[in-house]
Amino acid sequence: MKEAGVYIHIPFCKSRCQYCDFNTSARLETFIPNYCLNLVKEIQISSRIFQKECSIGSIYFGGGTPSYLPANCIQAVIQAIQDSFNVSSQAEISMEANPADIIPSKAAIWHAAGINRLSIGMQSAQNVELKMLGRRHRFKEVVQAVNILRTAGIENYNLDLMFGLPHQNMQSWQGSVTKALDLAPTHLSFYALTVEEGTPLAAEIQTNILPTPDEDLAAEMYEWAMDFLAEQGFEQYEISNWAKKDEVDYRCQHNILYWRNRDYLGFGAAAHSHVGDQRWENGTRVPEYIQMLSRFSENKKVNFPLPWFETCTKLTSAEDMGETAMMGLRLVEEGLRDDLFQERFGKSLFEVYKEQINELVRLGLLEVVEGEAHAIRLTKRGRLLGNQVFMRFLMD
């Protein structure tokens, strides 16, 4: 039985952020009870296929805004996973949360349900930036949220921050990072703003209401963060993620599973799954997802693929290798390990990607790590140009 992760997609938000183009639904509260019921049903049905194949080492609630849901819905979904699958007693159970949703009554239920890690969408310590992003919290609520979590017994929490924002300067960015560290997080995630077409933020930039983000300044912000967090006792283990150096491993175990291109089962509208060389995605629209699950009889024979899948594909070996290389190179220290690559594909990555590796090393974007774990990893410059490096492994 191989270890896998479980991803739960919660596509509901109280309000939609200015920059968001994810599959989320604002002001559709009436769907939430039925969505949760059918999410549990999907987990139970899928376990009839995968229960004997997968043991669960991590559970991750993403969205959308999972913390927006009634806490008993989250509790019911966790219970369904534990009842339907072999879940490790040491499983990491993470949930993304908006600071405005973190109240004592919810936090107590989350902790009792087994959630042992929160990822808090702080984004900035500057209220003017939070307002510009359309966030429904202000910095004081982040401080309150952290105190509530500690009181509830959840002491492992990540803070998400964004950089490269319109009007943001180096001073405001450094201020946000410093205030985040004052909250004693075990983990930090920093993401450059991506302006997606069709979002309100993109419209404001196109009409000159807001200035176009400065990409050079964003790169300087990222470089500063890499140096500063190293001085503060944080290890950058992935391009966008830092974990506190400690006897406890504070790296996000569920996301490491993604970056090593391991198996995971996704449940909910628009959730993606990956088992072996199979990839599939559930339908994206919430009403149709609920309808499909509601119609599926509990006694009906379960056949793969299931009716609510929107896509289901089998990767070729070359596609699987390319994905594995691209994801593994996101791991800053570990990199793409040759022993794991050979274990999976029966070939050395130095044989398969000899040309690409030689070229990227020559350009100063990759380095070869010798020793027991023979690997390749991004240089500091390579982290700034990661997408260009990754494409070299997908094109050939």
Question: How many Å apart are CA 162 and CA 337, to the nearest integer?
Answer: 30
Average pLDDT estimate for 34-38? 97
Report pLDDT for 119.
Answer: 98
**Strands of the 375-378 sheet, one edge to the other:** 336-337, 375-378, 366-369
pLDDT at residue 16 is higher than 80 = no
Report pLDDT for 21.
Answer: 52
* 335-395: CATH, from 1.20.140.10, 3.40.50.2300, 3.40.50.620, 1.10.10.10: 1.10.10.10
Q: Where are the domains of the chain?
A: 2-258, 335-395
Contacts of 383 (CB under 8 A, 6+ apart): 222, 226, 239, 332
Q: The domain at 2-258 falls in which architecture?
A: Alpha-Beta Barrel (3.20)
Q: How confident is the model at residue 18 (pLDDT cuts 50, 70, 90)?
A: low
Question: How many Å apart are CA 156 and CA 152, to the nearest integer?
Answer: 11
Report pLDDT for 298.
Answer: 80
Residue 120 phi, psi (nearest 5)? -95, 125
Share of the chain above pLDDT 90, in %: 84
Share of the chain above pLDDT 70, in %: 96
Report pLDDT for 279.
Answer: 97
Q: How confident is the model at residue 15 (pLDDT cuts 50, 70, 90)?
A: low
Report pLDDT for 395.
Answer: 57
Report pLDDT for 204.
Answer: 85
Q: Encode pLDDT of 197-209 as tens digits.
A: 877 878 888 888 8
Torsion sign over Cα 379, 380, 381, 387: positive
β-sheet bridge partners, residue 86: 55
Q: How confident is the model at residue 227 (pLDDT cuts 50, 70, 90)?
A: very high
Q: Encode pLDDT of 344-379 as tens digits.
A: 999 999 999 999 999 999 999 999 999 878 999 999
Report pLDDT for 24.
Answer: 53
* 8 Å CB contact between 183 and 237: no
Q: Encode pLDDT of 87-137 as tens digits.
A: 999 999 999 999 999 999 999 999 999 999 999 999 999 999 999 898 889
Q: Encode pLDDT of 270-291 as tens digits.
A: 999 999 999 999 999 999 999 9
Average pLDDT estimate for 297-309? 91
Is beta strand 157-163 parallel, antiparallel or unpaired with respect to 187-192? parallel
Is beta strand 54-63 parallel, antiparallel or unpaired with respect to 86-97? parallel
Report pLDDT for 284.
Answer: 93
Is beta strand 187-192 parallel, antiparallel or unpaired with respect to 117-123? unpaired
Q: How confident is the model at residue 1 (pLDDT cuts 50, 70, 90)?
A: confident
Average pLDDT value over all residues in the chain: 93
Q: What count of residues does the chain have?
A: 396
Question: How many Å apart are CA 114 and CA 81, to the nearest integer?
Answer: 12
Lowest-confidence region among 9-18, 92-101, 138-147, 294-303: 9-18
* Helix (H), strand (E), coil (C) string for the chain: CEEEEEEEEECEECCCCCCCCCCCEECCHHHHHHHHHHHHHHHHHHHHHHCCCEEEEEEEEEECCHHHCCHHHHHHHHHHHHHHCEEEEEEEEEEEECHHHCCHHHHHHHHHHCCCEEEEEEECCCHHHHHHHCCCCCHHHHHHHHHHHHHHCCCCEEEEEEECCCCCCHHHHHHHHHHHHHCCCCEEEEEECCCCCCCHHHHHHHCCCCCCCCHHHHHHHHHHHHHHHHHCCEEEEECCEEEECCCCCCCCHHHHHHHCCCCEEEECCCCEEEECCEEEEECCCHHHHHHHHHHCCCCCCCCCCCCCEEEEEECCHHHHHHHHHHHHCCECCCCEEHHHHHHHHCCCHHHHCHHHHHHHHHCCCEEEECCCCCEEEECHHHHHCHHHHHHHHHHC
pLDDT at residue 86 is higher than 90 = yes
pLDDT at residue 215 is higher than 70 = yes
Average pLDDT estimate for 237-254? 97
Lowest-confidence region among 100-104, 172-176, 270-274, 301-305: 301-305
* Both structure tokens of 114: 């087994």
Report pLDDT for 49.
Answer: 94
* Both structure tokens of 329: 């190179």
β-sheet bridge partners, residue 97: 120
